[in-house]
Amino acid sequence: MKVLQVNKLYYPWIGGIESHVKSLSEGLKKSGINVKVLVCNHRFKFEIVTIEGVEVKRIPSFGIFWSMPLSPFFSFFLSSYIKNFDLVHFHLPFPLSHLFPDKLRNKSYIITWHSDIVRQKHMLNLMRPSLIKFLKRSSKIIVTSKRIIDSSELLQTFKSKIEIVPYGIDYKYYKPFIGEGEYILFVGRLVYYKGVEYLIKAMKKINSQLVIVGDGSLKPKLINMSHDLGLSSRVKFLGNVDKDRLIDIYSKSLFLVLPSVEKTEAFGLVQLEAMASGKPVINTNLPTAVPEVCPDGECGITVPPKDVESLREAINTLLYNDELRRVYGYNALNRVINEYSMEKMVKRIVNLYSSLSL
């Protein structure tokens, strides 16, 4: 079977969806699927590269605006390139993939609905007619959690064709170090929906160090906030790091905090990475898969979004209770092995592909 994965960007561009598409593509290839990837480039250059055995075509763009690549050529290239494949797997949100849905009329395709468009309302209103037609013509729609279905107004009409397939990771790469650690950890892009400013404010009365891994448009503002609150010596910004170093950073942490504030955070893949390292997670009660991945009272603590006091209390609970941290760490590791393995995710996707009449 020849399958094309379509997303806005691909590794080495950093993001949860990009990480998922890379892992899925590599897993599908190992399972015998002939898979290729079509994405936009972040610059005005056409490229064909092979990454971990997967061919990736990058279509030129004028850059990234409102978290989306601006590529006037992408839709036209897509409409001709898909003829070479039995099935196309789209990853949304990515408006350029459904700009001209009529051109996909004779092609079988499925969609992974990673999240709603939350902030760019003007874009959603503009693209709604083509998006609805695109969803209607799809063979299947994948989401990572029932909570995403329930919270998405656009998905209500299409419940009969929705399949739930959670993300998975290759947990064997990680180095579990349960119960011990040196610092509190955040990993992710420094953008509006991550809620990092609330985490920094919570650190004001916490006697520990916070390590922030990631980059983004809010980094200068967050650094200034740390300075203004007198936290410069206790909040460390590492920027983006390579995978090997990130694995070590997870292993040496006490626990992960994911203080996201908008449902743009649909899953929180970094939770799985921390759990594979034997670390508890503090997450927020968003109407997405986020609190479902690491449940409150089992392998972490869930707090209301934008609630600095609740966040500070949860941090102190894990910081000063070694036994609770150890129990949650064991539970987290077991949960990722049993529920969120790469093998399980890829098997579900392959079975879904095979169930379609191509």
Number of H helices and number of E strands within the chain? 12, 16
Instruction: Please check whether residues 204 and 64 belong to one and the same domain.
Output: no
pLDDT for 54: 97
Report how far residue 344's alpha carbon sits from residue 304's, in angstroms, rounded to the nearest whole number: 31
- Statement to judge: residues 242 and 109 lie in one domain: no
pLDDT at 265: 94
On whether both 69 and 193 belong to a single domain, the answer is: no
Residue 191: helix, strand or coil by DSSP?
Answer: coil
Instruction: List per-residue pLDDT tens for the chain, 358 residues long.
Output: 999 999 999 998 878 899 999 999 999 999 999 999 999 998 899 999 999 999 999 999 998 876 778 888 898 889 889 999 999 999 998 888 887 767 777 789 999 999 887 665 556 667 788 889 999 999 999 999 999 999 898 999 999 999 999 999 999 999 999 989 999 999 999 999 999 999 999 999 999 999 999 999 999 999 999 999 999 999 999 999 999 999 999 999 999 999 999 998 999 999 999 999 999 999 999 999 999 999 999 999 999 999 999 999 999 999 999 999 999 999 999 999 999 999 999 999 999 999 996 5
pTM here is: 0.91
The residue whose two tokens read 């910004």 is 237
Q: Residues 35, 38, 43, CA angle at the centre, nearest 5°? A: 145
Domains contained in the chain, number: 2
| 94 neighbors 61 (Cβ within 8 angstroms) | no
- Residue whose entry in the numeric block shows the structure tokens 């934008």: 306
Report how far residue 309's alpha carbon sits from residue 206's, in angstroms, rounded to the nearest whole number: 11
Clarify whether residues 145 and 186 are in a common domain.
no
**Token representation of residue 115:** 């999240």
| Residue 99 sits in the same domain as residue 63 | yes
User: Scanning the structure block, which residue is given the tokens 């959690």?
Assistant: 145
- CB hemisphere CA count around 64 (13 angstroms): 12
Taken in order 28, 30, 34, 37, the sign of the CA dihedral is positive
The answer on 154 and 35 residing in a single domain is: yes
In terms of DSSP bridges, do strands 253-257 and 281-284 run parallel, antiparallel, or are they unpaired?
parallel
245 and 116 inside one domain: no
Q: Is 204 found in the same domain as 158? A: no
For residue 356, give the 3-state DSSP assignment: coil
Domain range holding 233? 171-339
pLDDT of residue 101: 66
Looking at residue 352, the DSSP 8-state letter turns out to be H
CATH number of the domain residue 148 falls in: 3.40.50.2000
Residues 275 and 187 in one domain: yes
On whether both 290 and 153 belong to a single domain, the answer is no
Examine the domain organization and report whether 245 and 146 are in the same domain.
no
Q: Are residues 222 and 232 part of one domain?
A: yes
